[in-house]
Amino acid sequence: MIQNIIDELKNQGIELDAVQLELLNYLNDSFKKNSNFLANFTKKNINKSFYIWGDVGRGKTLIANEFIKNIELEKGVFHYIDFMQNIHESLSKLSGKKNPIDEIAKSLNRKYKIIFIDEFQVEDVADAMIIGNLLNQLIQYGMLIFLTSNAHPDNLYKNGLQRKKFMNSMTNIKNSMSIYELKGEKDYRTRNIYKVNNDAAKSFTYNDILDLIKNNFQISFPFTTTLKVNSREFQCKLCSKDVLWISFNNFFRQPTGSKDFKEICKYIDWIFVDDFKKCSENQEDIIRRFISFIDICYRENIKVKFFINNLDLDKIYSGTNLQILWNRCLSRLHEMQTIEYLER
């Protein structure tokens, strides 16, 4: 199984580092310890679930996802936010019924043998009261659960309301799961995205960029193409929790401003920009907005990937009125494409 995963990732241009390989081997060895894992799958009280935690961008999602793909059992793969949204919708439908959490657990157990919840994070008191009970029920049914998170279980829902009750529900979960810290400082996404050739002569198609996003970020399908900022909506190519993909030619024609860019930088880690067009004095509104966008991204250390496609970045603006501002912007654009900027 391991070699299949390594080969598949290499085909995607991804090479695991030593610490990531360690996690992959750990998952594989944990399964091998119980050679009759699949035969004994429905038995209760088998410690066969995993909680993987570590810093952003270390590859938790990537490795867990690839490992689960190679297990031939029915599986449900969710981002935590999407998972909880589904649970709240189910609770609404079951309103007035006795033990609705148990009904939801039974339904999930009938549908899946494996559940993977990515970016497990508990920030809301209602979610805290629900998720602990639900996971306990699923564990009792013998379901295999994978959780990935940026925090150790003991640090979840810190300073939250009724946290003691939540932590009590987490005790059995912790005892039923193997807790593994994926260590290391390198952000694999940064390296993978940096390695993609940014040469002006290279032309990237829509599918090229979408594949790059899919291989490095956990996104839900169908994904949204509407960005909601400051009670307004803007068109984009893709918007998810971690990544925003915008068209230079479209996005900066919209009435965006510095207030919007600041808000975007609060919750987006990566921004992809394509569809660059040459602009003269007649398109200076586009250039002004783009300069403001770059200034704010640079100040906030936001990672931005530019897909120039057969254009010279230095010659996108051919006017003279904004030349001083554009020269400063160009300097930042070139710096923002370096590995030193991306890893700082």
Residue range 113-147, pLDDT digits in tens: 999 998 888 878 888 889 989 999 998 888 899 99
CB atoms within 10 A of CB 268: 20
User: What is 2-182's CATH superfamily?
Assistant: P-loop containing nucleotide triphosphate hydrolases (3.40.50.300)
DSSP letter for each residue of 17-64: -HHHHHHHHHHHHHHHHSTTTTTTTT-SS---EEEEEESTTSSHHHHH
Interaxial angle between packed helices 323-336 and 284-299, expressed in degrees from 0 to 180 and rounded to the nearest 10: 40
User: Stretch 65-72: mean pLDDT, rounded?
Assistant: 88
pLDDT reading at 62 higher than 50: yes
pLDDT reading at 45 higher than 50: no
User: Stretch 50-69: mean pLDDT, rounded?
Assistant: 87
pLDDT top residue among 313 and 67:
67
User: Stretch 251-269: mean pLDDT, rounded?
Assistant: 92
Residue 79 parent element (H or E): strand 75-79
Q: What is the pLDDT of residues 296-338, one digit of tens each?
A: 999 999 999 999 888 888 889 999 999 989 999 999 999 998 8
pLDDT at 47: 52
pLDDT at 157: 84
- Per-domain residue ranges for the chain? 2-182, 188-342
Rounded CA separation 122/109 (Å): 22
The model's confidence at residue 197, banded by pLDDT at 50, 70 and 90, is: low
pLDDT at 33: 64
pLDDT reading at 149 higher than 60: yes
User: Stretch 237-260: mean pLDDT, rounded?
Assistant: 93
| Angle at alpha carbon of residue 216, lines to 211 and 218, rounded to 5° | 95
CB 16 within 8 A of CB 24: yes
By percentage, how much of the chain surpasses pLDDT 90? 45
The model's confidence at residue 201, banded by pLDDT at 50, 70 and 90, is: low
Closest CA to 52 of 26, 17, 16: 26
Mean pLDDT of the chain: 86
User: Stretch 79-107: mean pLDDT, rounded?
Assistant: 91
User: Stretch 58-62: mean pLDDT, rounded?
Assistant: 85
